[in-house]
Amino acid sequence: MGNGLDPASPLLEVRGISKSFGAVRALQDVDFTLRAGEIHALLGENGAGKSTLIKVVTGVFPRDAGIVRLGGEDVAPRSAKAALSAGIATVYQEVNLLPNLSVAQNLFLDRQPMRFGIVREGEMRRRAKALLADFGLDIDVAAPLGDYSVAIQHVTAIARAVDLSARVLILDEPTASLDRHEVEILFRIMRQLAKRGIGIVFVSHFLDQVYEISDRITVLRNGRLVGEREIASLPRIELIRMMLGRELAETTSARAAASERPPREVCASFENYGKASYVAPFNLELRHGEVVGLAGLLGSGRTETARLVFGAERADRGQAKVEGAAVRLQSPRDGVRHGFGYCPEERKTDGIVAELTVRENIVLALQAKRGLHRPLSRREQDEIGRRYIRMLDIRPPDPERPVGLLSGGNQQKVLLARWLATSPRLLVLDEPTRGIDVGAHAEIIRLIRELCDDGLSLLVISSELDEIVTYSDRVVVLRDRAHVEELAGEAIDVGNILAAIAADSVAVALEAHT
Amino acid sequence: MKGLPPVLITAIVLVLGFAACAVQFPNIASTRVVGNLLTDNAFLGIVAVGMTFVIISGGIDLSVGSVIGFTTVFVALVIERWGVPPLAAFLAILVLSAAFGAAMGAVIHVFDLPPFIVTLAGMFLARGASFLLSTESVPITAPIYSTVSDFALRMPGGGRLTAIAIIMLVIVIGGALLLHLTRFGANVYALGGSRTTASLMGVAVGKMTIKIYMLSSLLAGIAGIVFSFYTSAGYSLSAVGVELDSIAAVVIGGTLLTGGQGSVIGTFLGVLIQGMIQTYINFDGTLSSWWTKIATGVLLFAFIALQQGLVALARRPVTKSAGVAS
């Protein structure tokens, strides 16, 4: 655990911060307090507002309301550079240094030791060496930064920030691409810095690491503050509940019918399937007429599993079978060829083509599957467009309207229609209800059930546990990039899923402390 | 050092090429030929130094050929028709070209426009302006021109190191020192790495952009003066396509076209390689001089393929092992 120096004095105080992007309220009246010498974890699922909060505090985004105080004085940096000179430094997951320059140049860019207008290269390297030695690093500082591992690049970025007299150090997902040993090094450095009185904000979705290093945590959800707690008095399951916003008592209702159908034949199966440092090998069977839910926290390997199944990412071990026959899934094309469809989470960037019409978006995948030399006639396109607009109740029912003008829920339906038009056997949906209003939400869920009743096999990722519980025949729970539990039938309820997400990690945490 | 391996390859290509030429035509290996080579390519060497800074910073400057053309016409007219003293004319054109480059840099930064488009506009502008001044070749007869043309250092073996060759060598050395030893030079590399990151790290990106294009245009102005010494005339069609020759020299010299890596010395070697090919064709006598362009094209392609290979190698994850005391 880190060392609180003077728990009474807040180093950084954030009060009542609000921020909207257009109609979307990214932050609403959020408070955050960082003490000198503490390591404070900032947690929340995707879209909770962590990044927005950091960017507002460091002046990357202007704020709509609220105040930021550093050491008791109001600050309002207008840029990351201004925040840095005020004493707030941020080190992002993708290191903001220059890989083409030497380590020494990166540490001293724009403030190199000079003599007669010439950079004193030797002196600069000596100082760089000394600075990094403070962080337990002994490397050739004349080599380009890009030659070194991400861990060393992170430490270099931290060293630069600290040397620029940072009092607040924000580390945004610093451990995401580090191995265990590198994480140890980083944690040791974080504890050292905390001892020197620097306040550290640690953003991470690795709960084990949060418990290992943090003094206190603040949880955000949907742009609001959920709470601020001492880590020592916060059971893990309570933390997960804060992040996912579900009460254990609140269990299932509408799912009875789903689980009582007879088992169907296997549509696709994956044996010992996985990819090194991506997802641990897993076994997964997907049956016709069945919905399999993937549950877990952000970064637990849900999307990674989906991408492996579809072929968007190549597995380096294991065997995939479609209808019992062994297949190789090397690319999304392979996935499409075997009758798979994939609706990614980022609808706007990875899914719809906003400028094209509803009809054009719907026929896109089908046309791609047929090949360019067999174009769909306009009459066929019109017919397909009309059929799916009717079937999925896309509104307004105008096939010639650009998709960008539709609501989120209807865009999602157009994406669904695009894959349905290819008559797939398996459809992978990543967060199908994200960013959709409540009414459309229920409709998408109803559609998922209907498609499944028609014999389609579905693999659905969602952060909404209630939702997963409603439509899934089986639920696979993931944690730390591994499949840790598979729930079926009566065992599927929010409480069991939460327990599976939390349980194992408690054991691991205990192990780490003995 | 940055960009050393590609520079080494360029050096090896030059040495091997020169050796091959010398085997076929022993006369090539003389200070006389080398001296002429430096003289003939002096203006190209000077603009290529500026182009190196621009390309390492992640930009491109297509206007330099036109700036050379404009400079020759301007200098010829001002000296011959208006009777302005040559040194005053030189000073005026250098101020003018530097201001032109600064303006392009400012437009690129302030309006966040691609350098390709802005300098393409600059290219048409400068070329058009030189046609406005005169569409005919204007001979320069000022005494300083014959003095400079006659000046040369004797090299052992009878070669002449002319004044314009010396100017080029001084600029190459000065450019190398500026790029590799100063804070300005480090910032040029930083801009080429990533403008956003460089700005986050405190580099004044706007000022740097203006200074870099100013330097490039200033060197193009000097190259224009040198070109007017070389031809003793001002002509609005001179130095057409030189921007492309200088880009070729920079890339053959091992500078990444995407920015962030490269060296002035490499560029100088790239200029020499182009000069060497030209010399070989002159010696052969039967080949069309357009073979220079074809050979340059092949080399360019080979070097870009090589760079892509090196970049792909560099993108491999975690390479260097580091001593980590824990």
Give the separation between CA A158 and CA A132, rounded to whole angstroms.
Answer: 10
3-class SS of residue A200:
strand
Q: Would an 8 Å CB–CB cutoff place A96 in contact with chain B?
A: yes
Give Cβ neighbours of residue B59 (< 8 Å, ≥ 6 apart).
B108, B115, B209, B212, B213, B259
Reply yes or no on domain B4-311 having CATH 1.10.8.
no
Give the separation between CA A329 and CA A273, rounded to whole angstroms.
Answer: 11
pLDDT at B217: 97
Are the beta carbons of B68 and B47 closer than 8 angstroms? yes
Are the beta carbons of B75 and B140 closer than 8 angstroms? yes
Residue of chain A nearest B56, judged by CA positions? A100
A374-380: average pLDDT: 87
| For residue A247, pLDDT beyond 80 | no
Tell me how close the Cα of A148 comes to any Cα of chain B, in angstroms: 5
8 Å CB contact of B182 and A152: no
A417-425: average pLDDT: 86
- CB atoms under 10 Å from CB of B26, counted, come to 9
Residues of A in contact with B6 (CB under 8 A): none
Q: Which two tokens stand for residue A230?
A: 């001492």
Share the mean pLDDT of chain A: 82
pLDDT at B313: 66
Angle between helices B42-56 and B264-284 (to 10 degrees): 140
- Greater confidence (A122 vs A254) lies with A122
pLDDT at B310: 67
pLDDT at A266: 85
Q: Give per-residue pLDDT as tens, A459-480.
A: 998 877 878 888 888 999 988 8
The radius of gyration of chain A from alpha carbons, rounded to an integer in Å, stands at: 25
Between positions 248 and 287 of B, the ones with CB within 8 A of A are: 260-261
pLDDT at B314: 58
Q: What is the enclosing helix (H) or strand (E) of B147? A: helix B143-150
Break chain B into its structural domains and give their ranges.
Answer: 4-311
Q: Which two tokens stand for residue A19?
A: 């921020």
- Greater confidence (A360 vs B313) lies with A360
ipTM of the complex in this document:
0.80
Residue B134: alpha-carbon gap to chain centroid: 26
Give Cα separations from A296 to A230, A342, A477, A480 (angstroms).
24, 19, 6, 9
* Among candidates A99, A114, A139 on the partner chain, residue whose Cβ is nearest the Cβ of B322: A139
Tell me how close the Cα of B180 comes to any Cα of chain A, in angstroms: 9
pLDDT at B271: 94
- Greater confidence (A130 vs A509) lies with A130
pLDDT at A349: 65
pLDDT at B322: 41
8 Å CB contact of A114 and B326: no
| For residue A179, pLDDT beyond 50 | yes
* CATH 3.40.50.300 boundaries in chain A: 1-87+166-175+194-209+218-234, 256-513
Q: Give per-residue pLDDT as tens, B22-77.
A: 888 888 888 888 899 999 999 999 999 999 999 999 999 999 999 999 999 999 99
3-class SS of residue B26:
helix
Query: Number of CB pairs < 8 Å for A and B?
Result: 94
Q: How is residue A94 annotated by DSSP?
A: S
pLDDT at A257: 46
Q: Which two tokens stand for residue B88?
A: 């005053």
Tell me how close the Cα of A137 comes to any Cα of chain B, in angstroms: 5
Mutate to test the interface with A, among B191, B316, B324 (most CBs of A within 10 A): B324
A249 by Cβ neighbours in 10 Å (0-12 / 13-18 / 19+) ranks as exposed
8 Å CB contact of B201 and A96: yes
Position A367 confidence tier, pLDDT thresholds 50, 70, 90: confident
Residues of A in contact with B326 (CB under 8 A): 136, 181, 184-185, 188
- Greater confidence (B209 vs B204) lies with B209
State residue A289 phi and psi, 5-degree precision. Answer: 70, 30
Q: Read out DSSP for A390-407?
A: HHHT-SS--TTSBGGGS-
Q: How is residue A351 annotated by DSSP?
A: I
A355-362: average pLDDT: 88
Residues of A in contact with B193 (CB under 8 A): 98-101
Nearest Cα neighbor of A45 from A241, A212, A202 is A241
Share the mean pLDDT of chain B: 87
* CA distance from start to end of chain A: 14
Taking the domain A256-513, which CATH number applies?
3.40.50.300
pLDDT at A415: 86
**Token pair 């080599």 is at which residue?**
A143
| For residue B311, pLDDT beyond 80 | no
Q: Read out DSSP for A140-193?
A: -TTSBGGGS-HHHHHHHHHHHHHHTT-SEEEEESTTTT--HHHHHHHHHHHHHH
Residues of A in contact with B182 (CB under 8 A): 117-119
Q: Give per-residue pLDDT as tens, A123-157.
A: 899 999 988 888 878 888 988 898 888 888 888 88
Q: What's the half-sphere exposure (Cβ side, CA atoms, 13 Å) at B224? A: 39
Q: Give per-residue pLDDT as tens, B209-231.
A: 999 999 999 999 999 999 999 99
Mark B102-124 as b/e (b = at least 16 C-beta within 10 Å).
Answer: bbbbbbbbeeeeebeebbbebbe
Q: Give per-residue pLDDT as tens, B77-135.
A: 999 888 899 999 999 999 999 999 999 999 999 999 999 999 999 999 999 999 999 88
Nearest Cα neighbor of A224 from A47, A60, A345 is A47
Q: Which two tokens stand for residue A361?
A: 């978006």
pLDDT at A504: 54
B262-288: average pLDDT: 88
Comparing A205-219, A432-446, A488-502, which segment has the lowest mean pLDDT?
A432-446
Reply yes or no on domain A1-87+166-175+194-209+218-234 having CATH 2.60.40.1120.
no
Tell me how close the Cα of A512 comes to any Cα of chain B, in angstroms: 18
B138-148: average pLDDT: 88
Q: Would an 8 Å CB–CB cutoff place A98 in contact with chain B?
A: yes
Q: Would an 8 Å CB–CB cutoff place B314 in contact with chain A?
A: yes
